[in-house]
């Protein structure tokens, strides 16, 4: 589903590479934790998957497309295959829960009929049934992150990318979010999650890819967080 072939990325004006010779393959339906200290290249990895940047060297395949050769006008098509969740939720404050989730479908031109069906379905999946009329500010952090996950998943993408999704949440709430991501993973979606949260990684026992200074230093099936 995601393949990196000898990928390096150096940002303009910087001498140190953010990623160095990364070879990695993530299969369809896998759940992968991306761990490593700040600046180790986790975010760069995720941004390359989203084609926010092109790699300096190497080839990247996402959902069957070679993304570094993708024309700019085909990038929206790629992003419709990928749902994205962030640490800071990124909800629209003036819109209700339902509107926030529906927004993701409206702006890619889905019909109102689809929206009427998919949005309540997805809200139920993330455990927010009955809260569609609330505004984000009326919700707890965990609930807001569920809205963000619903928005990322409402179009049923094949890949879900989560960048520190539990970074702003307390441990008990984080467990709930992880259960939700696990449920989404079980529907067949590939999940890639960058995190600093060692207890979550240790509990979940999923594949762990560790980056340090832009290099993959560990790739472990059913791994643990493994460093302090």
Partner 1 sequence: MRHIFSETWSGLRRHITMVVAVVVTTFVSLTLFGAGLLVYQQADLLKGRWYDRVEISVFLCTQATAGDNCTPGADITDAEREQVRQTLESNSEVAAVEFETKEQAYAEFQEAFDGSPVQDSLTVDQMQESFRVKLVDPAQFEGVVSAVAGLPGVQAVQDMREYLQPLIGVLQALQIAAMATGGLLLLAAALQIGNTIRMAAVARRREIGIMRLVGAGNLYIMAPFLLESLIAGVLGIALACGAIVAMVLFLTANPQVSLQAGAWIGWPEGIFAMVGVAIVGIVLSIVPTIIATRRYLRV
**Which residues lie near partner 1 (CB under 8 A)?**
50-52, 72-73, 75-81, 83-84, 90, 92, 103-104, 106-109, 151-152, 155
- From the CB of 199, what's the least distance to partner 1, in Å? 29
Instruction: Give the 3-state secondary structure of residue 88.
Output: coil
Query: Per this entry, what is the length of the chain?
Result: 228
Cβ-based nearer residue to partner 1, 72 or 228: 72
- From the CB of 160, what's the least distance to partner 1, in Å? 12
Cβ-based nearer residue to partner 1, 51 or 206: 51
Cβ-based nearer residue to partner 1, 108 or 217: 108
Q: Spell out the residues 6+ positions from residue 170 whose beta carbon is closer than 8 angstroms to its own.
A: 141
- Bridge-based pairing state of the strands 31-35 and 57-62: unpaired
- From the CB of 112, what's the least distance to partner 1, in Å? 8
Per DSSP, which regions of the chain are E strands?
Answer: 2-9, 19-26, 31-35, 57-62, 65-66, 82-86, 159-163, 190-194, 207-212, 215-220
- From the CB of 210, what's the least distance to partner 1, in Å? 26
Whether the CB-CB separation of 22 and 7 falls below 8 Å is answered with yes
Cβ-based nearer residue to partner 1, 63 or 201: 63
């Amino acid at each position: 589903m995601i393949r990196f072939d000898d990928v390096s990325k150096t940002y303009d004006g910087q001498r140190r590479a953010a990623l160095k010779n990364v070879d990695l393959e993530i299969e369809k339906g896998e759940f992968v934790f991306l761990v490593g200290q700040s600046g180790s290249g986790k975010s760069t990895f995720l941004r390359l998957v989203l084609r926010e940047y092109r790699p300096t060297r190497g080839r990247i395949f996402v959902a069957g497309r070679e993304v570094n050769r993708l024309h700019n006008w085909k990038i929206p098509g790629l992003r419709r295959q990928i749902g994205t969740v962030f640490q800071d939720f990124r909800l629209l404050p003036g819109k209700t829960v339902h509107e926030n989730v529906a927004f993701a479908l409206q702006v890619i031109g889905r019909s109102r009929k689809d929206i009427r069906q998919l949005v309540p379905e997805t809200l139920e999946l993330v455990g927010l049934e009955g809260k569609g009329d609330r505004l984000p500010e009326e919700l707890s952090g965990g609930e807001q992150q569920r809205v963000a996950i619903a928005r990322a998943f409402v179009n049923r993408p094949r890949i879900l990318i989560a960048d520190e999704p539990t970074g702003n949440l307390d441990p008990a709430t984080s467990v709930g979010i992880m259960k939700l991501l696990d449920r989404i993973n079980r529907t067949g979606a590939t999940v890639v999650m960058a995190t600093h949260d060692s207890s979550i990684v240790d509990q979940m026992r999923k594949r762990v890819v560790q980056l340090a200074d832009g290099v993959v230093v560990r790739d472990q099936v059913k791994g643990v967080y493994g460093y302090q």
